[in-house]
Structure 1
Amino acid sequence: MFGLTSLGIIHTVISLIAVGAGIVGFLRDRRVDLDTGAGKIYLWTTVATCITGFGVFQHGGFGKPHALGVLTLLLLGAAWTLRGRVVPQTVLLSTTFFFHLIPAMTETLTRLPLGAPLLKDAEAPELKAITGILFLLLVIGVTLQVRWLKQVGRTPGQRAAV
């Protein structure tokens, strides 16, 4: 299906669950909050996405997708250790969400529609532009999150009404 291996399908399903949980967190709590069910699902499915991704990305050795997976795991580990420090944890988790979007855009645009994908390959200049736009949205989003968190004076574990 879509040129994916069985592991690729599992990886994709897990990553879609992670992205869905992240979206729930952003909509409900304005951030991914590891003290909520959606936050816990996001954390563990993102870990699983990275681990399964190491088996999926087999293009002649260690490459950009592997580096992104390692970096994501490092940021998740840092976010986990920063429990109780809401602002830095929020920045780290929002950054990992951005990392989800990079391969999501790449894989979607280079595979779909079937037989005539929108972009030729992962090096297409359009992908660099899309990644730049997503990065700009990350910076804007994190800035708004940090301003909001400081404004409401959140304490760890405290849920805010949106």
Structure 2
Amino acid sequence: MPEITMFGWFHTIIGIVALLSGVYSLINYRVIRFTDTTGKIYLICTLLAAASALALYNATGEFNKAHILAILTLGALGVGRLAETTHLFRQFSGYVQAISYTATFLFHMIPAITDGLMRLPVSDPIVKDVEDPLLKQFYLAFLISYLVVLTLQLLWLRKKEKAA
């Protein structure tokens, strides 16, 4: 795997900031919202990470699954923002927002773990091939985690809706 460039470091650092602020938002607010400071940080950093992933594609000329995830992330950000700021989805807006914004978290984790395990430790990376079964186990764990977190969010939103 080639050395990481300065732009690659920017992409990596902004992605880490996004993930940390996203975890904080999910733990403290149960959902990611642009109206919360950490939610705003998460969403802006996620937008920058996805856009920079596509810019990295332009720089390398290689289009791969991580770039597809970046496009899905941008789409989910757009749908989530629409749900948060309009009544397009009517009474389902909160649910659409949660599904969309939380999906971006899943979309972050897949390339993050792949890149991390293929680069670290620098002298002998843990994974040498994107088809490594260890990566597939992480992907499955992330998918299950997403479904659990999303289910908890949707139940919380429903309970909040009934209380209102």
Question: Given the alignment of the two structures, is residue 62 of structure 1 paired with residue 70 of structure 2, yes or no?
Answer: no
Shift of 1:140: 1.2
Work out which of the residue numbers 121, 127, 139 in structure 2 matches 1:131: 139
Amino acid at match of 2:47: V
Unmatched 5+ stretches in structure 1: none
Shift of 1:154: 7.8
**How high is the sequence identity, in percent, across the aligned residues?**
32
Report the structure, 1 or 2, having the larger helix content.
2
Secondary structure of 1:129's partner?
helix
Aligned counterparts of 1:121 and 1:3: Cα–Cα separation in 2:
17
1:39 aligns with 39
Work out which of the residue numbers 101, 105, 119 in structure 2 matches 1:111: 119
Q: Which segment drifts farther, 118-127 or 50-59?
A: 50-59
Shift of 1:64: 1.1
8 Å Cα contact 2:72-2:107 kept in structure 1: no
Question: Given the alignment of the two structures, is residue 73 of structure 1 paired with residue 74 of structure 2, yes or no?
Answer: yes
2:128 aligns with 120
Aligned counterparts of 2:162 and 2:23: Cα–Cα separation in 1:
20
Shift of 1:59: 5.6
RMSD of aligned Cα (Å): 2.0
Unmatched 5+ stretches in structure 2: 86-92
2:83 aligns with 82
Amino acid at match of 2:65: K
Aligned counterparts of 1:154 and 1:4: Cα–Cα separation in 2:
50
Which contiguous aligned blocks of 4+ residues in structure 1 show a shift greater than 4 angstroms? none
8 Å Cα contact 1:17-1:42 kept in structure 2: yes
Q: Once the two structures are superposed, what CA deviation does each residue of 1:33-83 show, in whole Å capped at 9, x if it has no partner?
A: 221111111111111101111122466543211111111100100001001
Amino acid at match of 1:102: I
- The 5 A counterparts of 1:89-104 are 89-104=97-112
Aligned counterparts of 2:158 and 2:142: Cα–Cα separation in 1:
24
Shift of 1:113: 1.1
How many residues of Structure 1 are paired with residues of Structure 2 in the alignment?
A: 155
Secondary structure of 2:84's partner?
coil
Question: Given the alignment of the two structures, is residue 53 of structure 1 paired with residue 61 of structure 2, yes or no?
Answer: no
Amino acid at match of 1:143: T
8 Å Cα contact 1:7-1:55 kept in structure 2: no
TM-score under structure 1 length normalisation: 0.88
Secondary structure of 1:72's partner?
helix
Q: 1:118 to 1:154 in 2, by over 3 A?
A: farther
Shift of 1:24: 1.2
Q: Which segment drifts farther, 34-43 or 50-59?
A: 50-59
2:88 aligns with none
Amino acid at match of 1:28: N
Q: Once the two structures are superposed, what CA deviation does each residue of 1:76-111 show, in whole Å capped at 9, x if it has no partner?
A: 000010016211101111110111111111011111
Aligned counterparts of 1:51 and 1:138: Cα–Cα separation in 2:
22
